[in-house]
């Protein structure tokens, strides 16, 4: 019986080794892009095993310990053999990671000139020689740089790059690269579509979920160095000592990966948890309360990053409650954290239903007069567009409009307006579109990226924030391709000049496959996906016509309740035409842009057609550049979006057998839902707009399956995170 058991085990192992697909079946997406599976290409594996024969790290910090752990597991997994941790360079192929201060080997290489300017996060990966032996040096001026360089080196192996002659120098162009979690203390997540919050506050600080460390690893691997744990619609309770002890436990884990913890500060906290009668930022008692609270936080969390604040927006309390300015409120908190090196990120997402002006203008109108009045450790956090994370918006006019104030972009990684965790929408092209937009604030070349990284207007602070799409579901983001948006945000925060296609290629190679056929098809899908979503949701500059509340499906007919939360406020459809007139003859929102940009947007003939209805109310018979009327082009765009989702399905199904069965089936099922809901978007929106245009659908156009009433009453009952 024992012999038969051994034979059975042998046969099982033989089948596993001969059938890679059985390995693939076990894939559940938990490892994200940090999948250190053995390289299947035998020729490449042989090269790597020659190039990497051992590894060593120098230094005793937690960051170096993290780098050592990553090298050990990464090299072992990718190369299929245990690569020894050595103590000396006795052969070719040793990987040496450390700083000149911690490593005598690195110091002996005399790399001072090449390391110059790397700051506290940049790194150098270099093929060189030490005492005649060929080595790979991963070095930096600081331990965080060594960790980032280690992840980069492993990424080269994962993506099958040549490592024989390396000379890589990389440093972040943005100093603070941060995730914003809209997580509540009861573990619900606002605009969360991937389960509950990662942070189990009831178990902390005593019980530490292993996911916390894996979360930190994933962030460090793409250069993210900060995390805001709590929702911008803040709960003051997180600033109590009970909760600060829980935050400190998380900070202890994240510290080993170079990640600082930040919290959202509820402006009324001195009243709600401090027992004061006021939260007036100019009141001496309030000033003292925040100073003492900051001292308490830094006593428990010495490397605490600072506060993120949403104030006087959507019901959140703020300085305007006391007839004070945003600068008064931000400076109150900035002064409290300044002695400890902390910063304040003050959100510019402000609008008031009682202000009769165009909502798109309100942030600019409130903040530009305050330029130069904020402390040096305050940075204004500005959404990428002037409304609210729409599938397409023009860049926010505040970028470049406040030369004396540091400004940072806020992107949404979670897909609030782009199909939740159901639709496959790769967001890097959206981020890139904003970052490469020309503000003209200081002449040609003054892109949003150059404004926010300090190249145009130098500031001590630079930052980029992304609203996280992460929850406690096994694969972190719900949709496997949602992981790509987290990855892309981190890579663009490190270097806003990176290309969306290059980032997609990296992610696919590390997450799905290095096979050329699979790589090219998935890359093509990803790069087309955002434009496809715009087509079936909000083509030609339409915006904010989503279903009221959850924003998942279409709702151009929403016309009740608060005016600036209705769809009709934004699309302005009538018998004459469609679109919000923000030109100089309308709300004049165009005047908030530099004249070189303003003049392009203001002119119906020169305005980009993908923003036409954002800036102009356009007649239904207006002739578009395609030769179609506005109505005909609108129908074409919506229909093309639906057809393109069908193409996404076909592309994906052609990959069957090349992708592990678990993730293949999950994505395939989600694409079925996406196709269904894209059709609902098309049919519902066009039937509604047809009620104004009174025009027939074009020839050869497939008629909607139902009448308008059907789409108005449709309920989405199978969407994660949506009730």
Q: Which H helix or E strand runs over 247?
A: helix 241-255
Which pLDDT value is given to residue 185?
98
Which pLDDT value is given to residue 197?
98
Burial group, residue 382, by CB count within 10 angstroms (0-12, 13-18, 19+): buried
Which pLDDT value is given to residue 352?
85
Rounded Cα–Cα distance for residues 639 and 649 (Å): 16
Q: Which H helix or E strand runs over 335?
A: helix 326-337
Which pLDDT value is given to residue 355?
76
In order of 51, 256, 294, 309, 512, the CA distances from 299 in angstroms are 47, 19, 9, 21, 44
Question: Into how many domains does the chain fold?
Answer: 3
Q: Are residues 292 and 419 in the same domain?
A: yes
Task: Give the residue from 251, 530, 264 showing the smallest Cα distance to 381.
Answer: 264
**230-247 per-residue burial string, b: 16 or more CB within 10 A, e: under 16:** bbbebbbebbeeebbebb
Residue 521 lies in a domain: no
Name the domain boundary from 110, 137, 170: 170
Residues 6+ apart with CB under 8 A from 278: 270, 271, 285, 286, 322
pLDDT tens digit sequence for 174-217: 999 999 999 999 999 999 999 999 999 999 999 999 999 999 99
pLDDT tens digit sequence for 485-509: 999 999 999 999 999 999 999 999 9
Instruction: Identify the segments of the chain with pLDDT beneath 50.
Output: 1-2, 4-25
**185-216 per-residue burial string, b: 16 or more CB within 10 A, e: under 16:** bebebebbbbbbbbbbbeebbeeebebbbbbb
- The tokens for 669 are 């099922």
- Location of structure tokens 């519902």: 684
Name the domain boundary from 147, 170, 193: 170
Q: Are residues 401 and 350 in the same domain?
A: yes
Q: Which domain CATH number covers 680?
A: 3.90.1330.10
Task: Give the residue from 278, 284, 238 showing the smallest Cα distance to 262.
Answer: 238
Residue 19 lies in a domain: no
Name the domain boundary from 170, 198, 225: 170
Q: Are residues 149 and 189 in the same domain?
A: no
The overall average pLDDT reported for the chain is 95
Q: What is the pTM of this model?
A: 0.96
Which pLDDT value is given to residue 113?
97
pLDDT tens digit sequence for 602-626: 999 999 999 999 999 999 999 999 9
Which pLDDT value is given to residue 515?
97
Which pLDDT value is given to residue 11?
45
Q: Are residues 362 and 215 in the same domain?
A: yes
Q: Are residues 100 and 216 in the same domain?
A: no
Residue 357 lies in a domain: yes
Burial group, residue 360, by CB count within 10 angstroms (0-12, 13-18, 19+): buried
In order of 314, 326, 551, 664, the CA distances from 332 in angstroms are 21, 10, 35, 52
Q: Which domain CATH number covers 95?
A: 3.30.379.10
Between the two ends of the chain, the Cα-to-Cα distance in Å is 56
Residue 76 lies in a domain: yes
Q: Are residues 162 and 185 in the same domain?
A: no
Does residue 438 have an active-site annotation?
A: no
Does residue 314 have an active-site annotation?
A: yes
Which pLDDT value is given to residue 424?
98
Q: Which domain CATH number covers 268?
A: 3.20.20.80
Task: Give the residue from 22, 159, 23 showing the smallest Cα distance to 516.
Answer: 159
> Which DSSP state fits 590?
G
Which pLDDT value is given to residue 14?
42
Rounded Cα–Cα distance for residues 76 and 369 (Å): 57
> Is the distance from CB of 122 to CB of 43 less than 8 angstroms?
no
Q: Are residues 267 and 314 in the same domain?
A: yes
Rounded Cα–Cα distance for residues 422 and 477 (Å): 10
- The tokens for 395 are 């860049």
Beta carbons within 10 angstroms of residue 448's beta carbon: 25
Q: Are residues 151 and 287 in the same domain?
A: no
Q: Which H helix or E strand runs over 69?
A: helix 62-79
Residue 560 lies in a domain: yes
Residue from 70, 143, 393, 416 carrying the catalytic annotation: 416
Q: Are residues 549 and 448 in the same domain?
A: no
Task: Give the residue from 18, 20, 100 showing the smallest Cα distance to 58.
Answer: 100
Q: Are residues 633 and 700 in the same domain?
A: yes
Q: Are residues 486 and 624 in the same domain?
A: no
Q: Are residues 695 and 564 in the same domain?
A: yes
Does residue 633 have an active-site annotation?
A: no
Task: Give the residue from 181, 618, 123, 667 showing the smallest Cα distance to 425.
Answer: 667
Residue 524 lies in a domain: no
Residue 9 lies in a domain: no
| Structural domain of 47 | 25-170
CA angle in degrees (0–180, nearest 5) for 392-396-397: 140
**21-52 per-residue burial string, b: 16 or more CB within 10 A, e: under 16:** eeebeebebebbbbebeebeeeeebeebbebb
Residue from 27, 335, 388, 432 carrying the catalytic annotation: 388
> Is the distance from CB of 589 to CB of 361 less than 8 angstroms?
yes
Residue 401 lies in a domain: yes
Residue from 162, 295, 314, 559 carrying the catalytic annotation: 314
Which pLDDT value is given to residue 55?
98
> Is the distance from CB of 678 to CB of 640 less than 8 angstroms?
no
């Amino acid at each position: 019986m024992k012999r038969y058991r051994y034979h059975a085990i042998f046969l099982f192992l033989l089948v596993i080794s001969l059938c890679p697909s059985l390995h693939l079946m076990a894939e559940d997406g938990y490892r994200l892009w940090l999948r250190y599976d053995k390289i299947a290409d035998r020729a490449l594996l042989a090269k790597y095993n020659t190039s990497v024969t051992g590894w060593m790290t120098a230094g005793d910090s937690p960051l170096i310990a993290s780098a050592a752990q990553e090298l050990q597991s990464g090299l072992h997994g990718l190369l299929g053999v245990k690569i020894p941790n050595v103590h000396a360079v006795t052969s070719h192929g040793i990987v040496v990671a450390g700083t000149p201060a911690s490593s005598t080997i690195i110091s002996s290489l005399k790399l001072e000139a090449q390391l110059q300017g790397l700051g506290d996060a940049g790194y150098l990966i270099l093929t060189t020689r030490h005492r005649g032996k060929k080595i790979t040096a991963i070095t930096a001026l600081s331990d965080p740089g060594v960790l980032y360089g280690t992840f980069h080196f492993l990424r080269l192996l994962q993506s099958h790059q040549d490592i024989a002659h390396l000379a890589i120098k990389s440093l972040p162009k943005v100093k603070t690269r941060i995730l914003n979690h809209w997580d509540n203390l009861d573990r619900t997540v606002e605009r969360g579509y991937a389960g509950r919050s990662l942070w189990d506050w009831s178990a902390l600080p005593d019980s530490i979920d292993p996911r916390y460390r894996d979360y930190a690893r994933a962030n460090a691997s793409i250069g993210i160095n900060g995390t805001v744990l709590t929702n911008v619609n803040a709960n003051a309770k997180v600033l109590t000592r009970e909760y600060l002890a829980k935050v400190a436990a998380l900070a202890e884990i994240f510290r080993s990966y170079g990640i600082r913890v930040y919290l959202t500060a509820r402006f009324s906290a001195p009243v709600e948890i401090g027992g004061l009668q006021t939260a007036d930022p100019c009141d001496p008692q309030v000033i003292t309360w925040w100073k003492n609270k900051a001292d308490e936080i830094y006593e428990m969390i010495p490397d605490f990053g600072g506060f993120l604040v949403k104030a006087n927006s959507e019901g959140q309390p703020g300085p305007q409650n006391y007839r004070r300015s945003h600068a008064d409120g931000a400076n109150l908190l900035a002064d409290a954290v300044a002695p400890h090196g902390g910063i304040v990120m003050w959100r510019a997402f402000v609008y008031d239903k009682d202000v009769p002006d165009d909502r798109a203008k309100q942030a600019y109108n409130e903040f530009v007069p305050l330029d130069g009045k904020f402390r040096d450790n305050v940075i204004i956090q500005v959404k990428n567009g002037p409304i609210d994370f729409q599938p397409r918006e023009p860049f926010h006019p505040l970028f470049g409009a406040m030369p004396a104030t540091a400004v940072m972009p806020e992107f949404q990684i979670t897909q609030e307006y782009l199909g939740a965790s159901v639709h496959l929408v790769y967001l890097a092209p959206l981020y890139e579109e904003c970052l490469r937009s020309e503000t003209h604030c200081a002449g040609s070349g003054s892109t949003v990226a150059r404004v926010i990284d300090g190249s145009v207007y130098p500031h001590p602070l630079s930052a980029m924030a992304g609203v996280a799409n992460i929850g406690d579901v096994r694969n972190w983001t719900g949709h496997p391709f949602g992981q790509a948006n987290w990855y892309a945000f981190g890579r663009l925060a490190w270097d806003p000049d990176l290309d969306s296609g290059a980032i997609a290629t990296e992610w696919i190679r590390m997450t799905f496959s290095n096979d050329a056929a699979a790589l090219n098809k998935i890359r093509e899908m990803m790069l087309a996906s955002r434009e496809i979503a715009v087509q079936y949701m909000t083509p030609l500059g339409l915006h904010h016509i989503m279903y009221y509340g959850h924003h998942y499906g279409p709702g151009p007919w929403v016309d009740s309740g608060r005016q600036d939360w209705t769809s009709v406020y934004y699309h302005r459809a009538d018998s004459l035409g469609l679109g919000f007139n923000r030109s100089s003859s309308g709300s004049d929102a165009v005047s908030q842009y530099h004249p070189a940009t303003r003049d392009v947007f203001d002119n119906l003939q020169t305005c980009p057609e993908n923003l036409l209805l954002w800036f102009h109310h356009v007649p239904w018979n207006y002739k578009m550049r395609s030769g179609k009327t506005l109505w005909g082009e609108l129908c074409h765009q919506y229909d093309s979006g639906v057809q393109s989702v069908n193409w996404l399905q076909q592309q994906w199904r052609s990959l069957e057998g090349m992708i592990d069965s678990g993730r293949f089936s999950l994505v395939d099922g989600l694409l079925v839902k996406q196709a269904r809901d894209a059709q609902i978007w098309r049919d519902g929106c066009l039937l509604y707009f047809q009620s104004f245009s009174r025009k027939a659908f074009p020839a050869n156009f497939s008629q909607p399956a139902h009448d308008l009433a059907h789409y108005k009453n449709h309920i989405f009952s199978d969407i994660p995170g949506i009730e």
